[in-house]
Chain A
Amino acid sequence: MSTQLDTQRLLRSSNPVPNAVSAEPLDASATALLQRIVNHTDPEPGPSRGRRWLIGTVPRLAAVGALALVTLVIGVSLVDSDDGGAYAATPTPLSTEHTPTRAGAVDELLALAARAEGTSYDAGPGGSIRVVYQSWSLFTRIDGVEVSSEVVPQRITRLVGPDGQGTITTEHTAEGETTESTTSIDDGPQTRLAADVDGLTAQLADRNPSGAAGRVNAIVESLLETPAGPGSRGAVLRYLAQTPGIRSVGEMEDRLGREGVGFTVSSDASGLPTSYTLIFDPRSGNLLGYEEMLTSDPGKLQVPIPSVIQYVVWEQSTYTS
């Protein structure tokens, strides 16, 4: 038997959940679900832009989660919109007045990469990973006919050993109460980020970065999982410099009040025009924050324009013994 066929047989035989039979009658719960949907839900006559965004282009940054620390929550109350409806409160955009340097984004990124590579190793000893980050996300869900928006604050601590086994601790704040939950994970052996741009590009290719926004998301996803030493930070910055449409935002503060420099790409790949901004420490090249902001069309989201719809703030990212 060929290895190809063996591979297929192995995969098929490892299927842990038997496939369903289409002709099988529905059980009681499925029948009840069908009745609930058909009897109590108005159909939407046709696709709309807002709905396309909702279900067709959920940002790849699902990893980020809807995260934020209590102290960083801007608010969950609704504010009046111009048309008398209610907006979901969203964080104040970090920077609306851009101050790009004359050098331009690419030169600025390359200069920052060189500075990062020139710093002494600071990513910590040992092979275990500790990443702590806060984030916030406005996400949508289908709840009745209208698309509703919700603010969900969380803070995540990721502790992973070299073998990929570890924990994710999530602090979740809702209605003034903070709850904490810890989950065990097994991500397999951990790989350090490459310290050269070609190696990093190959690593990030596994995340299928598509377009400029995809490349930014690949960076964010990687750095949510893995600390970056000086060489890797340089590689990240050089990778970003190769991103089509990258622009300099200039000096800005992240949501912890740290000084940074911002770089952004714009894309409507999500279905709604969105800017994706990364904020780096101007000295070390460490990634401090990430912001997603709707720039011109909220679709069916009840938010004003512009509106931050997601952000991440890295508190700590280091190797430990």
Chain B
Amino acid sequence: MRMTNPAEGTPDAEFATYFREHHGHLSAYVRRRCDEALVADVVSEAFLIAWRRRAESSSGGRAWLFKTARLVMNNSMRAERRQQRLGHRLASLQGSSVRASEDSTTEAEVVLRTLRRMSEPDREVLMLVHWEDLGGAELGEALGCSAATAAVRLHRARKRFRRALTVSSASTDVPHSLKEIFR
């Protein structure tokens, strides 16, 4: 049996470092996308795959983990559409988080509502960039495409998001700050 505190420089130690570096990021990534009850399972399976494919995962960093976790979610929870799960997740998060002020809460709710209504590919690229802080090659790795393709997808997704948010901001229940931006 291997040791809990593996020697420095061993594969176990390298993986432990990788695990410690990315565990929090991966947990947050998964928590934004699926029910709380499933977060631990998805994170566990993604890291298990990372362990088994250490050469690939270590060079891919957190973006590789994000991609793998997304596939785990798809693969292990096929009965419920991913988009619907995410819709639920965003809906459940809406109103329970981001409560800096009354106005900002409402603003966040409108943004989450808008995101929920976008296509899954558009939503994923926007979330990866603005919530997971990915960009460039990392974004490409997470999306499974080249950095250039990812940039194009991001550009188009932002355009569609602004268009969708403009529509949302036309309704009466959005804060004045949004109306000012998208009038």
Chain A interface (Cβ within 8 Å of chain B)? 1, 3-4, 6-8, 10-22, 24, 26, 29-30, 33-35, 37-41, 43-44, 46-47, 51, 54-56, 58, 62-67, 137, 139-142, 152, 154, 156, 164, 168, 170, 172, 183-189, 206-208
What is the CB-to-nearest-CB distance from A313 to chain B, in angstroms, rounded to a whole number?
16
List residues of chain B with CB within 8 A of the CB of A137.
78
> Could you write out 29 A-B pairs with CB less than 8 Å apart?
A3-B182, A10-B165, A12-B130, A14-B107, A14-B108, A16-B90, A16-B94, A16-B96, A16-B97, A16-B98, A17-B131, A29-B40, A30-B19, A37-B47, A47-B55, A55-B75, A62-B78, A63-B83, A67-B79, A137-B78, A154-B79, A170-B79, A183-B88, A184-B88, A186-B87, A186-B91, A186-B116, A206-B119, A206-B122
CA distance A47 to B47 in the complex (A): 15
Indicate if the CB atoms of A62 and B75 lie closer than 8 Å.
yes
Distance between Cα atoms of A13 and B130 in the complex (Å): 9
Any chain A CB within 8 A of the CB of B71?
A: yes
- Seen from chain B, the residues whose Cβ lies within 8 Å of a Cβ on chain A are 1-2, 4, 6, 11-12, 15-16, 19-25, 27-28, 31-32, 40, 43-45, 47-49, 51-56, 68, 71-72, 74-76, 78-84, 87-88, 90-91, 93-94, 96-98, 100, 104, 107-108, 111-112, 115-117, 119, 121-122, 126, 129-133, 144, 158, 161-162, 165, 178, 181-182
For residue B26, give the distance in angstroms from its CB to the closest CB of chain A: 8
Given A15-B130, A17-B93, A47-B56, residue A30 in contact with residue B28 (CB < 8 A): no
Contact A11 B78 (CB under 8 A): no
A47 to B2, CA, bound (A): 23
Q: How many angstroms from the CA of A245 to the CA of B122 in the assembled complex?
A: 28
Instruction: Please state if B68 and A26 are interface contacts (CB–CB under 8 Å).
Output: no
Least Cβ distance of B36 to chain A in Å?
10
Question: A38 is contacted by which of B6, B71, B79, B96 (Cβ under 8 Å)?
Answer: B6
Q: A13-B98, A33-B44, A38-B2 are in contact. Are A168 and B131 (CB under 8 A)?
A: no
B71 touches A56 (CB 8 A): yes
A7 touching B165, Cβ below 8 Å: yes
Q: How far is the CB of A276 from chain B (nearest CB, A)?
A: 17
Contact (Cβ within 8 A) A62 B117: no
Question: In the complex, which residues of chain B have a beta carbon less than 8 angstroms from the beta carbon of A139?
Answer: 75-76, 78
Cross-chain contact B84 with A183 (CB below 8 angstroms): yes
Inter-chain CB contacts under 8 Å: number: 197
- The distance from the CB of B153 to the nearest CB of chain A, in whole angstroms, is 8
Contact of B78 among A1, A20, A29, A64 (CB under 8 A): A64
CB-based contact B112/A16 at 8 Å: yes
Q: Which residues of chain A come closer than 8 Å to B28, judged between CB atoms?
A: 17-20
Q: Is the pair B82, A38 in contact by a Cβ cutoff of 8 Å?
A: no
Q: Are B45 and A142 touching (Cβ within 8 A)? A: yes
B49 touches A142 (CB 8 A): yes
In the A-B complex, the 5 residue pairs with the smallest Cβ-Cβ separation, listed nearest first, are A20-B24, A188-B117, A62-B74, A16-B93, A11-B130
* Contact in complex: B87, A185 (CB < 8 Å): yes
A20 touches B25 (CB 8 A): yes
The answer for the CA separation of A186 and B119 in the assembled complex, in Å, is 13
Contacts A10-B107, A14-B98, A62-B75 known; A38 to B12 CB distance under 8 Å?
A: yes
Q: How far is the CB of A28 from chain B (nearest CB, A)?
A: 12
The residue from B71, B98, B133 contacting A19, defined by CB atoms under 8 A apart: B133
Chain A residues with CB below 8 A from B121, complex form: 206-208
- Cβ A170 vs Cβ B80 within 8 A: yes
* A84 CB to nearest chain B CB (Å): 25
CB-contact partner of B181 in A6, A14, A58, under 8 A? A6
Known: A7-B162, A17-B97. A188 touches B116 (CB 8 A): yes
CA distance in complex: A168, B79 (Å): 10
Specify the chain A residue showing the minimal Cβ separation from B93: A16
Say yes or no: A63 contacts B53, CB within 8 Å.
no
Residues of A within 8 A of B23 (CB): 20, 26, 30, 34
The answer on a CB contact under 8 Å between B87 and A65 is no
The answer to whether residues A22 and B93 also contact, given A11-B130, A51-B53, A183-B80 and a CB cut-off of 8 A, is no
